[in-house]
Structure 1
């Protein structure tokens, strides 16, 4: 069995409360991505959910971050909010054609975040999974789906994801159910319950629990992505760095 690699990260890199906390005082905003990518193993880009990014942006981001670092990309809302996901084929093509493959090996998984009101429809999800390409412009693609309705806790859903090597997001969230399942060659977690009164966002016990979970995925030979996303966002970098420390003795930790 091949070894997996874990990358711990945050959502985005431009957030004013991180200046003077995560980012050094007087660091130019133009260098924030450079700094973040040398402290952590991955960043989940949220802006792609709302609109297309220019090819120049993708090329610049690829040039700024070090080898081994990866971006996870949140897929366009225009694909995941339509009445039938299975009709998203043209939208998926438009989304992929914006230039994101300029990241090359720095392209991580694409996250397809479903609306909380969307219920599991076997035929529709099967059509959607079938429409997700495995490569684009010669770059391998990996896909993760974040279901946010309890009806997705269904073996038919898991079977569809296994057939297409699509990861089901493990989501630690107060509002939505956690429907993590072993369905793909990699694992993807979004941790969204950070508390501002806790210096590291999550308690040490919670971070130990997440470290054990990530370690178990690594032991299975799976690449693993863990993002600190919501809750008290100001604590996200501290939470990610502390979890990274706890995983430091694991093989091939994904930091540069």
Structure 2
């Protein structure tokens, strides 16, 4: 089995990156194209705050190379407002809003829980059971969207592909063996999140892939990663992709996203980590 590591950033439209990571004079509509020249992935986080339009997903898809993969952050309406309960219509609206337009460039879906959300086994299991495991299943769910979205949906797929999910809890109550067991049963990955000790870091391997979010090791969303810290993350990632760091010895695909964007460190750290893993910088 050949496993791959993909490294990128959480979002890409940040004013502070212009004239720093992005060359001076680069027009905003070409910023994602520039990301695609220097990284192998990006996390779409605008979908967390509000449902995006299919035209946006199509534009993003067409802005990056074929090798590029997007992770998509599930809506906070599902995770923070509904708190994973009675989410059927909300899931339909989300999947109808355009992520399926990414086609072969659609990677895992991230579900980030608020710190106030405790581990509720029955609620979580019911939610995970409702998630589509293929793009074909996602399409069937999407067809159940409500009437508000008529005329602004994407209801087609070019192929029926596997669909991965990852969950990022932020409550210490998830430090429960039953939680990891539940994720293994549902084949959902447990996000490994570095949050400068603000929230717990969970690091069990529970699925066929590993999802990592690097929010800052010393200051949440702000601090950059030192060379030694990036070396350590590169070693861990290699151990997952070659299987030596996995409990069953089976290699895993790895998705890594830097979210330490407050001071513009995220894209620089992403490029530096990617070059450590590949031996060369993409571009």
TM-score, normalised by the number of residues in structure 2: 0.83
Question: Deviation of residue 232 (structure 1)?
Answer: 4.0
Residue 201 (structure 1) aligned to one of 211, 219, 224: 224
Structure 1 counterpart of 2:241, from 218, 226, 233: 218
In the aligned structure 2, how far is the partner of 1:38 from the partner of 1:228? 17
Structure 2: gaps of 5 or more residues: 140-159, 244-250
Q: How does 1:148-159 map to 2 (within 5 A)?
A: 148-159=170-181
CA contact (8 A) 2:110 2:165 kept: yes
State the 4+ residue runs in structure 1 displaced beyond 6 angstroms. none
> Aligned match of 1:146 in 163, 168, 175?
168
Distance 2:199 2:76 in 1: 18
- For 2:187 and 2:282, the matched residues in 1 are separated by 25
Aligned mates of 2:75, 2:178 — CA distance in 1: 25
Partner of 1:227: 257
Question: What TM-score, normalized to structure 1?
Answer: 0.92
Q: Decide whether aligned partners of structure 1 residues 84 and 35 sit closer, same or farther in structure 2, where only a CA change above 3 A counts.
A: closer
1: CA distance, partners of 2:30 / 2:191:
30
Tell me the distance in 1 between the aligned counterparts of 2:17 and 2:113.
28
Unmatched segments (≥5 aa) in structure 1: none
Contact 1:68 1:255 in 2 (8 A): no
* Higher relative contact order, structure no. (Cα contacts within 8 Å, ≥ 6 residues apart): 1
Aligned pair 1:169/2:191, yes or no? Answer: yes
Aligned length: 249
Asked if 1 retains the 8 angstrom alpha-carbon contact of 2:194 and 2:217, the reply is no
Contact map agreement 1:194 1:235 (CA 8 A) in 2: no
